[in-house]
Amino acid sequence: MPLEFKLPQLAEGIDNADVAELHVQAGDTVEAGQIVMELETDKAVMELPCPHAGKITQLLVKKGDTVKVGQPILQIDAVDAAATNGSSAGATESTSSAKAESGKSESGAATKSEKEVIAAAAWRGRRQPACRCSSRAPAPATPS
pLDDT tens column, 4-49: 999 999 888 889 999 999 999 999 999 999 999 999 998 889 999 9
Q: Which of 110, 127, 123 is nearest to 11 (CA)?
A: 123
| One-letter amino acid for residue 85 of the chain | N
Query: How high is the pLDDT of residue 115?
Result: 63
* pLDDT tens digits along 56-83: 999 999 999 999 999 999 999 988 654 4
Write 10-13 long-range contacts (CB < 8 A, 24+): 10/39, 10/41, 10/46, 10/69, 10/122, 11/41, 11/122
Query: How high is the pLDDT of residue 139?
Result: 61
C-alpha count within 13 angstroms, C-beta hemisphere, residue 70? 2
| C-alpha to C-alpha distance for 122 and 131, rounded to whole angstroms | 21
Q: Are 37 and 63 in contact (CB under 8 A)?
A: no
